[in-house]
């Protein structure tokens, strides 16, 4: 399924991620998962929240540089080989994975993978099969 992801560009200094998380929490926006990548000067936080429009607005008003991006969310069985089966479907099509991150509740039922592909529509179609 294609979902909206929020990306926040943070200055690489203590307290910046806490400030963003606090702004979302104070406005009842729940973070389902996030990924953080950093460089010397800044970090990029990519997250899926329960209300992407409200999350975007809250973070923008708090002074953050924010972007919304479409990504593909896929569920796999939370067991050895779950991701391998998904990757085999993707190997059959010509799309690049730009980045990915995942989360699992540890229940053993399913894990959720988030992908940004060079062609999200094509990847989503392949994963539905």
pLDDT, tens digit (0-9, with 9 covering 90-100), for 58-69: 999 999 999 999
Summarised one tens digit per residue, pLDDT across range 14-24 is 899 999 999 99
Report which DSSP code applies to 98: E
Distance, in Å, from the CA atom of 77 to the CA atom of 60, rounded to the nearest integer, reads 36
Which residues contact residue 25 at a Cβ distance below 8 angstroms, ignoring those fewer than 6 apart?
A: none
Distance, in Å, from the CA atom of 55 to the CA atom of 81, rounded to the nearest integer, reads 34
Distance, in Å, from the CA atom of 110 to the CA atom of 124, rounded to the nearest integer, reads 18
Average pLDDT over residues 100-111: 81
Residue 78 pLDDT level (bands cut at 50, 70, 90): confident
CATH of domain 73-128: 3.30.70.260
- Answer for the pair 73, 48: CB distance below 8 angstroms, yes or no: yes
Which pLDDT belongs to residue 107?
Answer: 66
From the candidate CATH numbers 3.50.50.60, 3.90.550.10, 3.30.2130.10, 3.30.420.10, the one assigned to the domain spanning 2-70: 3.30.2130.10
């Amino acid at each position: 399924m294609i979902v909206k992801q929020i990306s926040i560009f943070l200055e690489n200094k203590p307290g910046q991620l806490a400030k963003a998380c606090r702004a979302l929490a104070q406005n009842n926006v729940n973070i389902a998962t996030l990924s953080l990548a950093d460089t010397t000067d800044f970090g990029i936080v990519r997250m899926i929240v329960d209300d992407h429009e409200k999350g975007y607005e809250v973070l923008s008003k708090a002074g953050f540089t924010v972007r919304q991006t479409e990504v593909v969310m896929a569920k796999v069985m939370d067991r050895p080989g779950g991701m391998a089966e998904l990757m085999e479907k993707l190997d059959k099509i010509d799309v690049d994975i730009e980045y990915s991150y995942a989360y699992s509740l540890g229940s053993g039922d399913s894990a959720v993978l988030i992908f940004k592909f060079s062609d999200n529509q094509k990847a989503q179609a392949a994963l539905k099969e």
